[in-house]
Structure 1
């Protein structure tokens, strides 16, 4: 009979590796721009859905259309319009940032800088829009 030999194999767990928190989507600018882009996109989508539905009312019942449009002339809706412009502005600037990251060879390297440029442009847009909008909303 043949002699049987046994070999003992010891499996050691791998050493714990430290995960860098500075990756593109881990709580840094890249992740926040991703989250804000999705939120603003969904908000804009729902605005467009409501806008199409209320505009379609003019064909069904002009009186109902006038009633709905009358409700839009409230201060709360004026603040909603301000939020809508803020969402569209951020979404547009960040969309351009995403295009640059995708199509420029060094885009990912400068994605963090581009995020802060988007924020600066967005704030400039809001500084130009919000005071005038609030004057219109609360002057009536």
Structure 2
């Protein structure tokens, strides 16, 4: 039940990111100066944290989508749904830790 909520929430978050991305990229055709100003605001620590959250949302959404495909196609996966949910969270954590180490180092340390 909770993975259903997580999957929907991450899907909505990714959709809104894509919407903002298309709009701010289209801004370059209207006013290159305004585009540069918007892109400049994305280089703040707050947006660095939002970016990290976006990567986490994409990762959890994609891995959970693979879990859903497995459950739809395999009786084994249906029987082991709870374990597969933990696998999704575990793989997400294993991938996110090195990403966050490097990404947040750039965001806050300037490396």
Aligning the two structures, in what range does the TM-score lie when normalised by the shorter sequence?
Answer: over 0.9
Cα deviations by residue, 1:31-68 (Å, 9 ceiling, x for unpaired): 11111000000000000000000000011111110010
Is the radius of gyration larger for structure 1 or structure 2? 1
1:137 lines up with 2:111 in the alignment:
no
Q: TM-score, normalised by structure 1?
A: 0.77
Any gaps of 5 or more consecutive residues in structure 2? none
Report what 1:34 is aligned to.
Answer: 4
Any gaps of 5 or more consecutive residues in structure 1? 1-30
| 1:1-12 equivalences in 2 (<5 Å) | none
- Number of aligned residue pairs: 110
Q: CA RMSD in A?
A: 0.8
Alpha-carbon distance in structure 2 between the residues aligned to 1:126 and 1:109: 28
Name the structure, 1 or 2, with higher relative contact order (CA <8 Å, separation 6+): 2
Alpha-carbon distance in structure 1 between the residues aligned to 2:50 and 2:89: 20
Q: TM-score, normalised by structure 2?
A: 0.96
1:57 lines up with 2:27 in the alignment:
yes
Alpha-carbon distance in structure 1 between the residues aligned to 2:98 and 2:73: 30
Q: Which structure shows the higher helix fraction?
A: 2
Alpha-carbon distance in structure 2 between the residues aligned to 1:113 and 1:73: 39
